[in-house]
Structure 1
Amino acid sequence: MASRTEQLMERLRELQYNSAEVEAAAVVSVDGLSMASSLPPGIEEDRVSAMSAAMLSLGERIASELSRGELEQVNVRGDNGYVILTNLGEEAVLTVLARKDAKLGLILLDVSRAKEALEQIV
Structure 2
Amino acid sequence: MTIELFLSLLNFALAVGALIPIFFLGDNQKRIVAAVIISMLIPTTGIVWYRLQQHEAIVVQLEKEIENKLSNNIWTFDQIYNELHYDSYSLVNEALFRSVRNHRVDHKIIPFQKDGTILQVKGYFRKPTEKNQ
What is the TM-score when the length of structure 1 is the normalising length? 0.30
Q: Please identify which structure carries the higher helix content.
A: 2
Q: Which has the higher strand share?
A: 1
Larger relative contact order (Cα-Cα within 8 Å, sequence gap ≥ 6): 1
